[in-house]
């Protein structure tokens, strides 16, 4: 409802308001039952005294055009006979939206995880997220970047971008990829709203309902849920300490003719396992033998705390079987939503036509921010800084776990974000989560990382990057106390 | 490929480089055929003299580990016997990505439009886009907003946001909606990456393959293509100067039992037609009668250049049949990618679970920028300013069309972005577009706005907001000359 106040007019303010509302009612621009803003709200919007609005509403009430009721507010009661006729007829009914969901909507994916992650208040220690430490955000660098952009590029920062991404940022990513042994041109790159969107675009472009996708077991729940929401069948391949087991993989490929393999070779989520170099070579041989492409998800690759970097599958891939995904979410900022896909040029173009339909392009502002951050060479030092800090946090969490528990086993990851902890077999995970949250510590229960998540799991995933150091100490103690309560 | 240079080491720099590469080759961290960075690139990355890298590479060559070839660069030739064996076996082959697209991918959607829009150089006058004037971008306001945010909120600007959007921004949008007669709570709002993403989420949540969606004919091509890409059947409902024809609509509802109706009531894209108030009421009665929900797309509603604002369908919707979409793309900035959905709370929650899988949330930076822009009350004045300018541009384009053509008919829109121009029946639209681009003016041919876009159309859509005033004059002349050439 827009009302124009003319302060120089001879007509009293309350009359201006009254007459304009009356107009809108008679012209049916405001329908029957329409709830007017409260007197206070409208006074505030129009910058007039509240008593002015009160007077206008009173006169409208006196004329039988509006009425008010406690709880409902002030609403329109006037309507002409035609409207009344149609309104009173028998066919009116509410729509039951729950009954009209699409087939894909019904592929159950629960939002328990979002709810666990949303449990955020200052008292809860959260080991649940996959979020970098807010304290390590490169604040002063980003301030410098923004000031520079405001000065030199304010024209371009808010314009639309090409579907596949801002060219200068793609150049920077191309150089970044050289550090990971991946040599490509900018035409092999698409910028996405984080790697989650990269995954979504790939699945939409290539996967039809009932297609099979092989995944490591356990694996990232966001991938499982996405694949299932798009109608794919997710089948798990067992994993050992060197990564995906290629003999089992070969057996499943023969049996199921999958459309894709989805793998996280570096510091896998949730297990923290890094696929060995030998396994990487074997995997490439298998997929070339059977002609099955791989989606390689590498959000954590930069975050190695010990040992030597291994080449991504994409670097070993001579025949274009690998689509590589990465992101700045785990190393710079989750909130900026900037990730990327590396793929053959014709695949990038196909994905581009989906990107166009989905949301046109990644917001220009974030692309410029990240681009300038890379150009100014802030990236390398920033990575060094966070690796040092995360190494410390990982070791601290391990120390606290060892100090407090004899009954928890875990694998020490060479990098990444997570400790994957095995509890005793008889622990009731549902009860543990409920009690933990009550005791102000949370995490993700292991069953979410399995394709069949009803399966019994006695693992929990703990994130060590997000909590502060003192929170790690407190949180592990709380976990210990909780476990004691229920055993 | 990461190489660590120790400048304090006693080992010569070239030896450090050589030894580390040799290590990586022997450990197969760099695979056979891997192309090393050029000497110049590597020298630049490592901040060493080029001759240092030359020397390192020479020694590696002398040891038979690498080789170089013009056009290919320097690459690794060493490999062990096992690798050689597997590499030379017969099953290796390239993957043909084009053969493995999903069913939905094959629902043809062409990228001719993106290509037309991409034709951008300073010489071409573009009437093709749906883009606001870059000259009207509220630069100084955004600079002020950014400086304020950098000072007060740098902590929060880069953190993750809730799936459904930043709470403060939702409050601002809730207030904005009151101006459009829509009274809701923040739980009825989801922030999206532009309204294109809003549409995508709705279709994914509700529309199954072969479901029917009724649209106005002609309508926005991005909607048609999206619906078809997701497997829906798009059926057109005829439109007259008052909007969608409800008798035809009722007939088609009875016959086809559609899942949704998609409508752009204000300054429709491409026709510029505004649905009359009476038609709006009739439409609501029909959809309640048959229980068919509406997607109301309202990107242009704020941009009325004459006449009085009409209430959106959502304002007339007492029984929750309408999902309302809007965006800041047409009034503030396309590049920020911020739009929103208004829907019943349970629908918003369902859409949220898709949003989570798709890209987690809209980037935090853009949400804060727009939020602060609204909070500081820059919005209202900005809208006034652009309306004034666009009214002028619309009238200028109309004047130029009338001056140059007798053979073009068009409808004068009361607002929005477009003139929908009818050419003579015998004009070959393909030829006209080809010649127009050669003559440095472009636009979107009418056939893209029809569900069956092979249908012959003799319309073209001209955008008057993006080109500068002098470009409007020049562009219309070029169009006239082009038309003369081919008739």
Architecture of domain B158-378: 3-Layer(aba) Sandwich (3.40)
Say how many CA atoms lie within 13 Å of B204 toward its Cβ. 26
CB-nearest to B2 from A179, A196, A203 is A179
CATH top class, domain B111-134+381-486: alpha beta
> B160-170 in b/e burial notation, b at 16+ Cβ within 10 A?
bbbbbbbebbb
Which of B104, B200, B357 comes nearest A222 by C-beta?
B357
Cβ(B375)–Cβ(B343) below 8 Å: no
- C-alpha distances in angstroms, A236 versus A217, A239, A269, A471? 5, 9, 14, 35
Q: Average of pLDDT values for A240-258?
A: 93
Write the DSSP assignment of B380-434 as a string of letters: HHHHHHHHHHHHHHHHHHHHHHHHH-SS-EE---SBSSEEEEE--TT--HHHHHH
Using the structure block, give the residue that is written with the tokens 């920033």: A382
- What does the block give as tokens for B410? 């068009």
State whether residue A212 is helix, strand or coil: strand
Same fold, B13-88 and B111-134+381-486: no
Residue A280 near residue A324 (C-beta atoms within 8 A):
no
pLDDT tens across A190-232, in order?
A: 999 999 999 999 999 999 989 999 999 999 999 999 999 888 9
Question: Residue A475: enclosing H or E segment and its boundaries?
Answer: helix A469-486
Mean pLDDT, rounded, of chain B: 90
Q: Give me the CATH code for the A112-134+381-486 domain, please.
A: 3.90.1150.10
Tokens at B166, concatenated:
């930043």
Q: Look up residue B483 and give its two tokens.
A: 């038309």
Which residues on chain B are in Cβ contact (under 8 Å) with A208? Answer: 102-104
Q: What is the pLDDT of residue A454?
A: 57
Q: Identify the residue whose tokens are 């030896």.
A: B15
- Structure tokens, B192: 């999206």
Which class is domain B13-88?
A: mainly alpha
Cα B306 to Cα A313: distance, rounded to the nearest angstrom: 60
CA atoms of B298 and A263, how far apart (whole Å) = 41
Decide if pLDDT at B79 tops 70.
no
Q: Secondary structure of chain A: what % helix, strand, coil (to 5)? A: 45, 15, 40
- Give the contacts of B367 (CB within 8 A, at least 6 positions apart): B161, B165, B166, B169, B191, B338
Q: Are strands B294-297 and B260-263 parallel, antiparallel or unpaired?
A: parallel
The predicted-structure confidence for A155-176, as pLDDT tens digits, reads as follows 788 888 999 999 999 999 999 9
Query: Which tokens in the block code for residue A263?
Result: 């793998």
Cα radius of gyration (chain B): 29
pLDDT at A455 over 80: no
Report domain extents, chain B: 13-88, 111-134+381-486, 158-378
Percent of chain A at pLDDT > 70 equals 93
At A88, is the pLDDT very low, low, confident or very high (cuts 50, 70, 90)? very low
Please tell me the distance from the alpha carbon of residue A105 to that of residue A98, in angstroms, as a whole number: 10
Q: What is the pLDDT of residue A28?
A: 77
Percent of all residues in chain B with a pLDDT value above 90, rounded to a whole number: 67
Name chain B contacts of A103, Cβ cutoff 8 Å.
208-209
Q: Which of the residue ranges A62-66, A430-434, B201-205, B382-386 would you say has the lowest mean pLDDT?
A: A62-66
Spell out the residues 6+ positions from residue B380 whose beta carbon is closer than 8 angstroms to its own. none
* Confidence at residue A123, expressed as pLDDT on a 0 to 100 scale: 86
What pLDDT score was predicted for residue B451? 85
Interface test with A, best of B158, B223, B224, B366 (most A CBs within 10 A): B158
B244-278: per-residue pLDDT in tens?
999 999 999 999 999 999 999 999 999 999 999 99
The residue ranges of DSSP E strands in B85-140, in sequence order, are 125-126
- pLDDT band, residue A106 (cuts 50/70/90): low
Cβ of B29 and A229 within 8 Å? Answer: no
Q: What is the pLDDT of residue A90?
A: 47
Q: Are A198 and B93 in contact (CB under 8 A)?
A: no
Chain A residue numbers touching B94 (CB-CB < 8 A): 319-320
From B358's Cα to the closest Cα of chain A, the distance in A is 5
Which of A103, A259, A318 shows the shortest C-beta gap to B208? Answer: A103
Q: CA-CA distance, A281 to A266, in Å (whole number)?
A: 14
Tens digits of residue pLDDT in B136-187:
999 899 989 988 998 888 878 888 899 999 999 999 999 999 989 899 999 9
* Whether A367 contacts A175, CB under 8 Å: no
Confidence of residue B34 (pLDDT cuts 50, 70, 90): confident
Does the domain at A157-375 match CATH 3.40.50.300? Answer given as no
What is the arithmetic mean of pLDDT over B419-428? Answer: 88
pLDDT at residue B25 greater than cutoff 90? no
The yes-or-no verdict on residue A298 having pLDDT over 70 is yes
Do B189 and B341 contact (CB within 8 A), yes or no? yes
Dihedral sign from CA coordinates of B426, B429, B431, B435: positive
Interface touch B197/A359, C-beta < 8 Å:
yes
pLDDT for B26 equals 78
Nearest chain B Cα distance for residue A315, angstroms: 8
Residue B96 pLDDT level (bands cut at 50, 70, 90): confident
| Closest listed residue to residue A476, CA positions, set A392, A398, A389 | A398
Please give the backbone phi and psi of residue B364, each rounded to the nearest 5 degrees, phi first: -65, -40
Give the confidence band of A22 by pLDDT, cuts at 50, 70, 90: confident
According to DSSP, residue B261 is labeled E
Which residue of B169, B357, B378 to mutate against A (max A Cβ within 10 Å)? Answer: B357
Q: Which two tokens stand for residue A429?
A: 């995970």
Give the whole-angstrom CA distance, residue B464 versus residue B396.
9
Instruction: Check whether A62 has a pLDDT greater than 50.
Output: yes
Torsions phi, psi for A184 (to 5 deg): -140, 170
Would you report the helix, strand and coil content of chain B in percent, each value rounded to 5?
A: 45, 15, 40
Q: Name the phi and psi angles at A284, rounded to 5.
A: -60, -40
Provide the ipTM.
Answer: 0.86
Instruction: Report in angstroms the alpha-carbon separations of A462 from A390, A391, A398, A401, A449.
Output: 13, 15, 11, 11, 13
Whether B365 sits inside 8 A of A288 (CB atoms) is no
The rounded mean pLDDT for chain A is 90
């Amino acid at each position: 409802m827009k009302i124009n106040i003319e302060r120089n007019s001879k007509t009293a303010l309350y009359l201006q308001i009254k007459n304009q509302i009356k107009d809108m009612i008679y012209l049916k621009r405001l329908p029957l039952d329409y709830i007017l803003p409260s007197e206070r709200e409208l006074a505030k919007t129009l910058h007039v005294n509240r008593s002015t609005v009160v007077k206008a509403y009173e006169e409208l009430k006196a004329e039988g055009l509006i009425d008010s009721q406690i709880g409902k507010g002030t609403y329109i009661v006037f309507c002409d006979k035609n409207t009344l006729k149609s309104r009173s007829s028998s066919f009116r009914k509410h729509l039951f939206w729950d009954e009209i969901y699409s087939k894909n909507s019904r592929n159950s994916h629960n939002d328990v995880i979002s709810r666990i992650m949303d449990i955020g208040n200052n008292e809860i220690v959260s080991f649940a997220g996959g979020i970098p430490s807010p304290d390590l955000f490169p604040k002063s660098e980003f301030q410098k970047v923004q000031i520079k952009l405001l000065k030199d590029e304010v024209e371009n920062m808010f314009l639309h971008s090409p579907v596949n991404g801002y060219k200068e940022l793609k150049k920077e990513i191309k150089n970044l990829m050289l550090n990971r042994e991946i040599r490509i041109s900018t035409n092999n790159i698409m910028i996405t709203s984080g790697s989650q969107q990269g995954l979504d675009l790939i699945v939409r472009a290539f996967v039809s309902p009932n297609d099979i996708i092989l995944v490591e077991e356990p694996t990232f729940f966001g991938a499982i849920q996405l694949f299932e929401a798009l109608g794919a069948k997710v089948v798990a391949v067992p994993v050992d300490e060197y990564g995906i087991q290629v003999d089992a993989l070969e057996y499943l490929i023969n049996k199921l003719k999958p459309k894709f393999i989805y793998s996280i070779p570096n510091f896998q989520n949730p297990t923290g396992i890094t696929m060995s170099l030998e396994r990487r070579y074997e995997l490439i041989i298998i997929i070339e033998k059977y002609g099955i492409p791989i989606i390689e998800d590498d959000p954590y690759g930069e975050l190695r705390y010990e040992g030597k970097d291994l080449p991504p599958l994409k670097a070993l891939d001579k025949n274009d079987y690998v689509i590589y995904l990465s992101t700045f979410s785990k190393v710079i900022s989750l909130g900026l939503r900037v990730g990327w896909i590396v793929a053959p040029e014709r695949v990038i173009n196909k994905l581009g036509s989906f990107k166009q339909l989905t949301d046109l392009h990644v917001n220009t502002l974030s692309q410029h921010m990240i681009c300038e951050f890379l150009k100014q060479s802030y990236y390398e030092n920033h990575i060094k800084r966070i690796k040092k800090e995360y190494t410390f946090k990982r070791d601290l969490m391990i120390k606290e776990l060892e100090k407090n528990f004899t009954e928890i086993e875990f694998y020490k990851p060479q990098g990444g974000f997570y400790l994957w902890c095995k509890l005793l077999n008889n622990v009731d995970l549902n009860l543990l989560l409920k009690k933990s949250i009550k005791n102000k510590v949370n995490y993700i229960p292991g069953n979410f990382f399995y394709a069949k998540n009803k399966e019994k799991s006695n693992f929990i995933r703990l994130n060590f990057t997000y909590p502060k150091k003192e929170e790690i100490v407190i949180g592990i103690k709380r976990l210990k106390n909780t476990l004691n309560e229920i055993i």
